[in-house]
Chain A
Amino acid sequence: MLSTIIKEKLAKDNGESLAEVLVSVLIIAVGLVLLSSLVVASSRMVNNSDTKMSKLYSTQNSIESRDSGSVTKATGSTNITITGESSKSNLTVNPKITIYTDKDSGTVSYVKE
């Protein structure tokens, strides 16, 4: 089937019509645009992961550094009452907590004394 079409095409002296040429150019152009968009997409993905990794490490650093660096510290305590079925089974604890806030990464972590 395909070989007959090729033979007929070669036997003819006529060239391709303008519409055929335009369609083939369009197909090639679409292929090239798709291929180049792959490169652009992968470049964007690498840049995104770079930003996320930097943010992850700065968050990790802020958690580790606690008192030093750009971290602000707040210390306090509060009563937490856990209520049971009867008044005798109530439990009140008074934990002392230090909260560390890092403005750069927006991380909040706490340490129970």
Chain B
Amino acid sequence: MLNRLKNKKGFTLSETMAALLILSLVIVLTGGGVIVVKNAYQRITLKANAQVLMSTTITKVNDEFKYAKDVTTTVDPADSSKAYITFVSGNSNLKTAFKNDTSKGIELYYIYGDNVKTTQLLSDKTMTDGMIPSITYDYSTSDKLFTATITIKKGDSTISTQELKVRPIEE
């Protein structure tokens, strides 16, 4: 080892160039591999989290629709130009509708007399990775069936969409 350290001879230019070339190739290949694996990991995590969020949203929405009573169309007391398909919720016993908010996701919109109250359907911790669920729904009086479409978005891109049909028990 001492011989090597005492040796005053350096490397030739071609040796240094060859070493640099090999080193840069290794760095590029390793770096590329790390980026590909990181992207794949992020994609898989996002998809898995979206599945969990979709499942949670469907459970909550299904619960509200299943125990819904007196489904009607109600004009919004706060804004008479808007009307919602409302139902009496089995959980709160109040006239309820689903509303969408761009940052808070799906909201429960309670209407009692001329007063209104809004509650978030899912907590902020449930909506991981900046994913926001939204809902559009309709009620068929002849079939006695709620048909809802739940969409999970991150920014402007849609991650997953699911149709949901629920027949209320008491209708």
Contacts and interface: CB of A to CB of B under 8 A. Distances in A.
Interface in B1-54: 1, 3-4, 33, 37, 40-41, 43-44, 47-48, 51, 54
7 contacts: A39-B40, A46-B47, A46-B51, A57-B58, A61-B164, A65-B145, A68-B143
Interface residues of A, number: 23
Contacts of A64: 145, 165-167
B103 interface: no
A84 interface: no
Interface stretch (A16-24, A48-56, A73-81, A88-96): A48-56
A65 B165 contact: yes
A68 B140 contact: yes
B136 interface: no
Interface residues of B, number: 24
Interface of B: 1, 3-4, 33, 37, 40-41, 43-44, 47-48, 51, 54-55, 58, 140, 143, 145, 162-167
B127 to A, nearest CB: 18
Nearest to B166: A64
Contact of B167 (A36, A46, A66): A66
A46 B44 contact: yes
Contacts of B43: 43
Contacts of A68: 140, 143, 145
Contacts of A39: 37, 40-41, 44
B164 A57 contact: yes
B163 A61 contact: yes
